[in-house]
């Protein structure tokens, strides 16, 4: 097996795992704050031996300043999980996931605001398409949710996308720091911040709840990060960007199969617009196909 093939398999597995987390959040039946806390705790317990085996705890691996930036990124990432998981109950997993994929555009805006990165006309065009898709999603009223709850769910998903973009912005400041160590710092922030709000599953159904929570921490956090970062190290950026869209496809399919949440035609159109715009932004698609080179004919 070549390194590229292994990277593709790791990325596909990571995105497939990510696509099922919404289902676990819902079936756990636990408050959102508790779900995120236990996810962080079990995730940290999974990442500690990995970082230890790789020698990431050696002095000098991360500076105090970098640790501070990683903590800020952890705050943003944990807030992102809280908002996204809360969005599922109002707007469904499918809609929340589609809206959540506006995160590349949030990152472009933050980059322009804080890093002086001027967006190109191509990026602004994809942004306009994504905005139109969100508007279609917002004005729809699904069968499983309506009115205020649905709108709140959409807004929570937008807030989650913004927080994820913030976490990515902080990650840009951590070049040279092992990504597994960054992930460990981030989930440790979640443990420290949320333990006062966490609760134990009730006795009735406790075994199933603990299994779900442990799976989210060990598989959907620890293992997923290991697979994701392993893939990123082996694959070019366009390939990882393309494979990342397996996540929303899996999430929407799981929502349909597990909970029977079928999207309305208007919602499907909006979701397609958002995902298409996110793909165009991530993969650098041009709006126009390059014209055939006339110069080569002129020189004949």
H, E, C per residue of 32-52? HHHHHHHHHHHHHHHHHHHHH
pLDDT: which is higher, 295 or 38 = 38
- pLDDT band at residue 202, thresholds of 50, 70 and 90? confident
pLDDT of residue 150: 87
Do the beta carbons of residue 213 and residue 39 sit within 8 Å?
A: yes
> What's the farthest any 2 CA atoms get from each other in the chain?
82
CA pair distance 20, 118, nearest whole angstrom: 36
Q: What are phi and psi of 263, to 5 degrees?
A: -80, 145
Structure confidence by residue, pLDDT tens digits, 48-101: 999 999 999 999 999 999 999 999 999 999 999 999 999 999 888 999 999 998
pLDDT of residue 294: 45
pLDDT of residue 247: 92
Do the beta carbons of residue 47 and residue 178 sit within 8 Å?
A: no
């Amino acid at each position: 097996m070549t390194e590229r093939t292994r990277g593709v398999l790791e990325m596909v597995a990571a995105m497939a795992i990510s696509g099922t987390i919404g289902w676990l959040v819902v079936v756990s039946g636990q408050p959102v704050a508790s779900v995120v806390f236990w996810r962080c705790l079990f995730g940290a317990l999974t990442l500690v031996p990995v970082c230890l085996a790789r020698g990431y705890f050696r002095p000098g691996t991360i500076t105090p300043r970098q640790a501070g930036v990683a903590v800020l990124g952890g705050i943003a990432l944990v807030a992102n999980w809280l908002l996204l998981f809360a969005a599922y109950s109002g707007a469904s997993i499918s809609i929340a996931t589609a809206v959540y994929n506006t995160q590349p555009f949030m990152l472009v805006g933050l980059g322009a605001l804080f890093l002086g990165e001027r967006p190109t006309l191509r990026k602004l065009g994809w942004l306009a398409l994504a905005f139109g898709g969100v508007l279609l999603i917002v004005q729809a009223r699904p069968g499983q949710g309506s009115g205020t709850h649905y709108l709140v769910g959409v807004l929570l998903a937008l807030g989650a996308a913004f927080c994820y973009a913030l976490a990515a912005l902080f990650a840009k400041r951590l070049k040279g720091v092992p990504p597994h160590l960054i992930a460990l710092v981030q989930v440790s922030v979640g443990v420290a911040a949320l333990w006062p709000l966490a609760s134990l599953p009730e006795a009735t159904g406790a075994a199933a709840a603990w299994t779900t929570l442990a799976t989210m921490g060990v598989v959907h956090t620890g293992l997923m990060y290991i697979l994701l970062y392993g893939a990123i190290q082996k694959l070019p950026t366009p390939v990882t960007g393309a494979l990342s869209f397996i996540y929303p496809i899996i999430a929407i399919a799981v929502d349909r199969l597990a909970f029977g949440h079928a999207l309305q035609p208007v919602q499907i159109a909006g979701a397609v617009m958002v995902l298409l715009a996110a793909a165009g932004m991530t993969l650098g698609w041009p709006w126009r196909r390059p014209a055939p080179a006339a110069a080569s004919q002129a020189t004949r």
